[in-house]
Amino acid sequence: MKKAIIVLLALFAVSGSLFAADTIQLDKAKLEWSIDSGSLTITFTAETDGWVAVGLGSNRMDGANIFIGYNKDGEPAFREDIGSGHSHREAEVQRPVKFEVTESNGMTVMSFTVAASDFVKTGQTTLPFIVAYGSRDNFNSIHRYRNSGTIRF
């Protein structure tokens, strides 16, 4: 019996270090994340027909890597911005990223995958984030909702 428990705990410890996932419920929005095989996947769902954004690395716009997306007439748009003060600008270099942005029935869903090592260092147990959404399909109209928090691994 002791051996079975030890084996189960060992398997849990190993699998926990290789794969982690969670959901954070927000007002009229939801942030989901997972880490698997060196990739960090983020999915943000919000009650809007406009843009959605997730910033990683800061609980404020300033200093965050902000991933923004919208879907206009069935055509997804996506880019990475850098937060500066209370604003943001397009990042000079767009990191390789896999993304999808869909919109239907008053909901916009943005999912993107980046290299986990770009945001999560060895031994790191938390990652600050910001989220926001707006009512228009563009990269620079003001948000009508924003929030922040911490992803825990």
* Distance separating the N- and C-terminal Cα atoms of the chain: 30
Residues 9-19, mean pLDDT to the nearest whole number: 36
pLDDT, position 3: 40
Tokens 């938390």 appear where? 126
Phi, psi torsion values for 36, nearest 5 degrees = -155, 130
Residues 100-123, mean pLDDT to the nearest whole number: 96
Domains of the chain: 20-152 (2.60.40.1210)
pLDDT, position 133: 98
pLDDT, position 15: 35
- What's the rounded Cα separation, in Å, for the pair 95 and 65? 10
Residues 95-107, mean pLDDT to the nearest whole number: 95
Predicted TM-score (pTM) of the model is 0.85
Please name the residue ranges forming H helices in 39-121: none
Segment holding 3, helix H or strand E = helix 2-18
pLDDT digits (tens, 9 = 90+) for 59-97: 999 999 999 999 999 999 999 999 999 999 999 989 889
pLDDT digits (tens, 9 = 90+) for 16-65: 333 467 999 998 899 999 999 899 999 999 999 999 999 999 999 999 99
Beta-strand relationship, 75-84 and 65-72: antiparallel
Looking at the predicted structure, is the pLDDT value of residue 1 above 70?
no
Angle ∠(90,84,44) on CA atoms, nearest 5 = 65
